[in-house]
């Protein structure tokens, strides 16, 4: 048990602090402006470090296999999610499709927490993993839309493709992440050394504060919409990250990623989007119940992934064994 707890670093403990403080209604809050600034900082730091790492000689080995595997997983994971929801819950087709899209896409913050954990543990990881994260954002959205439209007959939702494409391809976190990744790649090792005090020294502390706010937010979301969640949906919010994470773990090992890369791939596959996909679903599937898919991803699956999923996948990937 102690070896398992050693995989839970201070940032994750701060998430637990925020969740616990919110649960007991302590007078604790993080100013919204600071939370937004921390979010921007994390995206920039992850992108810069990943781009600089990819610029190192030989660092792109395995890149295309990882990108291809990430895209396929994002396309396919909504299928078992949709099947579980339709067989095990009373959700309508559109809401089930919208929820399934969240569990094929990825959570940037969960990735940041896992990456920070590996850095704390001194476990190396492939520099191209931020690019894998970016390509896994969108395919699940397309699968969710197909699931909603197939079998919907004349009552299938109409789609404004132009607005949807803009929402998916130009959402702020992905644009900032990939822009920073490109800058880090172009700057290379000299740029990494120059920005190390910003991207490396400040990262763990910033992540602690950000996850403190995320813990508080998860409780707020749970109070706002979680009281009416059926037990079957809560169970789904825990089971589906395990299914996705297991698929990512096996896939990462199959394509030959490092131990840190396998752990990150499992974390990505087991995470659930709460930024890009909700925005896309509001446009594409307006009749889907946003209270269900947002609450599930933010208040159930996100805390589970932070507190249980990250240390679980890191351990199963081979760290500390």
**243-262 pLDDT, tens digit each:** 999 999 999 999 999 999 99
| Rounded-to-integer distance, Cα 311 and Cα 294, Å | 24
The per-residue pLDDT for 221 is 76
The per-residue pLDDT for 177 is 77
| Rounded-to-integer distance, Cα 38 and Cα 8, Å | 21
Ranges under pLDDT 70 in the chain: 1-8, 151-174, 225-228, 320-321
The per-residue pLDDT for 142 is 86
Q: What is the DSSP string of 105-172?
A: S--HHHHHHHHHHHHHHT----TTHHHHHHHTSSHHHHHHHHHHHTT-GGGSPP--HHHHHHHHHT-H
| Rounded-to-integer distance, Cα 106 and Cα 271, Å | 5
The per-residue pLDDT for 1 is 47
Size of the chain in residues:
321
Q: What is the DSSP letter of 275?
A: S
The per-residue pLDDT for 280 is 79
Buried b (16+ CB within 10 A) or exposed e, 240-266: bbbbbbbbbbebbbebebbbbbbbbbb
pTM: 0.82
């Amino acid at each position: 048990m102690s070896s398992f707890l050693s995989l839970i670093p201070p940032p994750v403990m701060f998430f637990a602090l925020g969740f616990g403080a919110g649960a007991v209604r302590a007078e604790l809050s993080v100013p919204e402006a600071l939370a937004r600034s921390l979010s921007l900082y994390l995206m920039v730091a992850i992108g810069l470090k990943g781009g600089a790492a990819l610029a190192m000689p030989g660092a792109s080995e395995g890149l295309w296999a990882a990108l291809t595997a990430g895209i396929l997983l994002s396309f396919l994971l909504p299928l078992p999610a949709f099947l579980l929801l339709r067989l095990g819950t009373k959700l309508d087709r559109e809401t089930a499709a919208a929820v399934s899209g969240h569990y094929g896409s990825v959570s940037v913050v969960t990735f940041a927490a896992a990456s920070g954990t590996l850095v704390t543990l001194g476990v190396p990881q492939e520099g191209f993993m931020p690019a894998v994260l970016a390509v896994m954002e969108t395919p699940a959205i397309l699968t969710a839309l197909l699931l909603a439209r197939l079998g919907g007959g004349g009552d299938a939702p109409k789609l404004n493709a132009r607005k949807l494409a803009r929402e998916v391809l130009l959402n702020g976190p992905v644009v900032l992440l990939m822009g920073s990744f490109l800058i880090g790649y172009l700057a290379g090792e000299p740029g990494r050394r120059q920005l190390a005090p910003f991207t490396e020294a400040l990262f763990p502390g910033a992540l602690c504060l950000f996850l403190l706010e995320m813990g508080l937010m998860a409780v707020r979301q749970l109070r706002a919409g979680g009281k009416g969640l059926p037990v079957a949906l809560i169970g789904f919010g825990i089971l589906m990250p395990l299914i996705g994470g297991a698929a990512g773990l096996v896939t990462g090992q199959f394509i030959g990623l490092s131990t840190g890369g396998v752990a990150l791939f499992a974390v990505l596959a087991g995470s659930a989007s709460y930024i890009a996909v909700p925005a896309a679903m509001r446009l594409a599937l307006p009749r889907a119940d946003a209270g269900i898919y947002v609450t599930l991803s933010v208040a159930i699956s996100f805390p589970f992934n932070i507190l249980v999923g990250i240390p679980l996948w890191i351990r199963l990937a081979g760290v500390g064994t």
